[in-house]
Amino acid sequence: MRQQTRPGPDQALLQVTDLHVTRDGRPILRGVNLTVMEGSIHAVLGLNGSGKSTLAYALIGSAGYALQRGEIRFAGEDITPLSITERGRLGLTLAWQEPARFEGLSVERYVSLGMREPDLQHVRQALIAVALDPDDYLRRYVDESLSGGERKRVELAAVYAMRPRLAILDEPDSGIDILTLEDISKLIRRMQREGTTVLLISHRDEVVAIADAASLMCEGQVQTTGDPRHVCDRYARCCRPCDRARKVETEYDYERL
């Protein structure tokens, strides 16, 4: 485990500078600049195809997202050359929009994988935090037998149990019914209280309401950053009538590749 440095409150935990990323030779991120403050909930808002998920994959170091230019600094350290494992060990992780399935891997084991000192009580608490009854779920498998919503909750529980320094939550509300948005909001606030900085990716402005700051992405760039209300307002006025995003393939399509 790497020695972690602490920037402390009111300091940037994540600094992305002029990030250019291609996927299969096609430019997706075209000079992203983003600063996420330690201890904050920072939302990234944008239409499908704006580059939000690509930004998430680039931040964790996912293969296939070729960095052409730019720098990612995490807790003051340039992590651009680091592997996905090394970034994970620094405390940078991602809850996937459509989480992977694992045959034969129990929920208990899966949730405990990122914990420094796995213990059952902590795993149970993480499941309760995402409104899953541990007695019903601990022994189930993280495979196709879970519904999409259940799998998303298990993913959020696993990220919460890891207690990372920065949790990137990619569309945490997708696939989960509207009634549980409140549960997700509570979980995100709880993560923040317990010391995790949250980068919240969404295309729904109602999710962004819980953020301390927000950035609006369009065509692979951050267009503006500021108060979530102002960013949501600009998103509603400028992005929703806009059809530019439809001209590019979505991250979902890339993910499926």
Residues that bind another protein (CB under 8 A): 1, 60, 62-64, 83-85, 87-89, 92-94, 96, 99-105, 113-114, 158, 162, 255
Cβ 219 vs Cβ 244: under 8 Å: yes
We find the least distance from the C-beta atom of residue 157 to another protein, in angstroms, to be: 12
Number of H helices, E strands in the chain: 10, 10
Q: What angle do CA 186, 190, 192 make, to 5 degrees?
A: 120
- Nearer of residues 110 and 235 to another protein, judged by Cβ: 110
d(CA 157, CA 230): 31
We find the least distance from the C-beta atom of residue 93 to another protein, in angstroms, to be: 5
- Nearer of residues 47 and 158 to another protein, judged by Cβ: 158
We find the least distance from the C-beta atom of residue 229 to another protein, in angstroms, to be: 32
Cβ 50 vs Cβ 238: under 8 Å: no
We find the least distance from the C-beta atom of residue 228 to another protein, in angstroms, to be: 26
- Nearer of residues 113 and 120 to another protein, judged by Cβ: 113
- Nearer of residues 99 and 228 to another protein, judged by Cβ: 99
We find the least distance from the C-beta atom of residue 37 to another protein, in angstroms, to be: 22
- Nearer of residues 10 and 103 to another protein, judged by Cβ: 103
- Write the CA distances from 252 to 8, 49, 66, 232, 255, integer angstroms: 35, 8, 17, 23, 5
Taken as a whole, the chain contains a residue count of 257
H/E segment holding residue 234: helix 228-234
- Nearer of residues 105 and 120 to another protein, judged by Cβ: 105
What are the phi and psi torsion angles at 90 (to 5°)? -75, -15
We find the least distance from the C-beta atom of residue 75 to another protein, in angstroms, to be: 15
Cβ–Cβ contacts within 10 Å for residue 177, how many?
8
